[in-house]
């Protein structure tokens, strides 16, 4: 199952109890409440859906746009 930008936004919003519409592409997700443990939980959730993703691939890009770029590259490389 491919991860979409909308799915990512909804998963992040659910993790921090926010409305998905409130999360902008360039918002700093750390400022919104995504810490390393929450990031790890999101990665585990996405791994369960078949995305081969490592913590380090997202840890240095704490915006939705940065994470989406990394996930798109992963999905393109895996043929998802």
pLDDT in the model for residue 66: 96
Give CA angle at 15 (52, 46), nearest 5°.
15
User: Which domains does the chain show, CATH number per domain?
Assistant: 5-78 (1.10.1200.10)
Predicted pLDDT of residue 76? 87
pLDDT per residue rounded down to tens, the chain (80 residues)? 689 999 999 999 999 999 999 999 999 999 999 999 999 999 999 999 889 899 999 999 999 999 999 999 988 886 55
Question: pLDDT at position 33, please?
Answer: 96
Q: Residue 5 contacts by C-beta under 8 Å, 6 or more apart in sequence? A: 64, 68
């Amino acid at each position: 199952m491919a991860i979409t930008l909308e799915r990512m936004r909804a998963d992040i919003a659910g993790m921090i109890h926010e409305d998905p519409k409130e999360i902008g592409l360039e918002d700093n997700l750390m400022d919104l409440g995504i810490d390393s443990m929450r990031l790890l939980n999101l990665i585990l959730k996405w791994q369960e859906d078949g995305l081969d993703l490592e913590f380090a691939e997202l840890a240095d890009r704490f915006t939705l746009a940065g994470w989406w770029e990394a996930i798109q590259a992963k999905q393109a490389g895996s043929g998802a």
